Amino acid sequence: SVASRGLGDVYKRQKVEQVKGEYQSQVQAASEDPQKAMDVQREAQQEMVKAVKDTGLDVRKYNQIAQLAQYDTDLRERIQENM
């Protein structure tokens, strides 16, 4: 299955979540300047794609595994145990 093949790489999800968290606060800080907020969001998206690719997965496969983890408690627990 997709989940078992990419599970080791998903453990690196923490890096993607870290990037997401860093940029989330920047987007909120720029909320009064819509253009700046859009620029920060674009930069955040690029950084998250890079972080995903650094795991060795493509974005589609990474998203599939992340989505499976939302509904599969065993998978989610295995991912969390290894983070």
Task: Read off the pTM.
Answer: 0.62
Look at residue 7 in the predicted model and tell me its pLDDT.
54
Each residue's pLDDT tens digit, 13-57: 667 777 777 878 887 877 788 888 888 888 888 888 888 888 787
Residue 79 CA to residue 50 CA, distance in Å, equals: 20
- Please enumerate, as own/partner, the contacts of 12-17 that have beta carbons within 8 Å and a separation of 24 or more: 12/51, 12/54, 12/55, 13/55, 13/62, 13/66, 13/79, 13/83, 14/83, 15/51, 15/54, 15/55, 16/48, 16/51, 16/52, 16/55, 16/62
